[in-house]
Chain A
Amino acid sequence: DAKTTQPNSMESNEEEPVHLPCNHSTISGTDYIHWYRQLPSQGPEYVIHGLTSNVNNRMASLAIAEDRKSSTLILHRATLRDAAVYYCISSGNTPLVFGKGTRLSVIA
C-alpha cells in the first residue's frame, strides 16, 4: 500500500467549498484512492473512492491527478456537520490502513 501525506488540519468557513489534498507519490497502478471520514465519537465512514477518473457522489467529489500521485477531496459546501477527521488511503486491497488524516474544522 502506498503511503499518503495529508495536512494535519484545515479550516473552512461554513457553506464554502473545501479542498482536502492528499499526496500518494508511491501509488501503484492497481491501488485505489479511498477517502473516509470520522465524525467525533463515531466510527469511520466511507466518503468516496476512485482509481483513475474523477468521481462524484452525493457527499463529495474526488479529483485525481493525471499521474495519480495526488488527489483532492472536494466538499462543495461545508457544513458544521462536516467537521471531522478525513483519511486518505491508497490501497490495492482490504483491510485499509489508516494514517493520521486531516482534521477539518468548519467555522460558522
Chain B
Amino acid sequence: DTAVSQTPKYLVTQMGNDKSIKCEQNLGHDTMYWYKQDSKKFLKIMFSYNNKELIINETVPNRFSPKSPDKAHLNLHINSLELGDSAVYFCASSQVQGAPGNTIYFGEGSWLTVV
C-alpha cells in the first residue's frame, strides 16, 4: 500500500487554466504538507495543514488554494496557471506538526508543465 499517494503524476496544461492535484495518506497522520521543487531542484515548503486546519502558508500566491476535506486528504488547486508554476509538487505527511524528530513521508510527486 502506498503511504502517500498523489494524482495525477504528470500534468501538462495551458496557461490560464485551473487544475487540481489530489493527495491522500493512509498513515493516520495528523499533518500534511505541500512542497514545490522547481527547475533548480530546490525543495520548498508551500503549505502545512494540521487536522484539516492551515498552519503554514509560505507566501504562496493566492492562486494556490489547498483544501483538506479530512485529515487524510490535502488537495492543491491552482487557478490561472502561469509558466512559472511549472514544477514538481510533492505532498507529504507527518504525525504531528512541530514535534521534534518527526519523520516526513513524501508522495512520488506530480510533474506539472504549463505551456
Enumerate chain A interface residues (CB-CB to B < 8 A): 30-32, 34, 36, 38, 41-46, 49, 51, 85, 87, 91-98, 100
- Determine the residue in chain B with the shortest Cβ distance to A95: B45
Cα distance, A32 to B109, chains bound together (Å): 26
Q: With a CB–CB cut-off of 8 A, which chain B residues contact A44? A: 43, 90, 104, 106
B-side interface residues, number (CB < 8 Å): 27
Q: With a CB–CB cut-off of 8 A, which chain B residues contact A36? A: 104
Q: With a CB–CB cut-off of 8 A, which chain B residues contact A30? A: 100
Q: Is the CB of A98 within 8 A of B97?
A: no
User: Taking A94-B97, A95-B33 as contacts, is the C-beta distance between A43 and B42 under 8 angstroms?
Assistant: no
A-B pairs with CB below 8 Å: how many?
A: 63
Cα distance, A32 to B99, chains bound together (Å): 11
**Residues of B26-65 whose CB lies within 8 A of A:** 31, 33, 35, 41-45, 48, 56
Which residue from A45, A85, A91, A97 sits with its C-beta under 8 Å from B41? A85
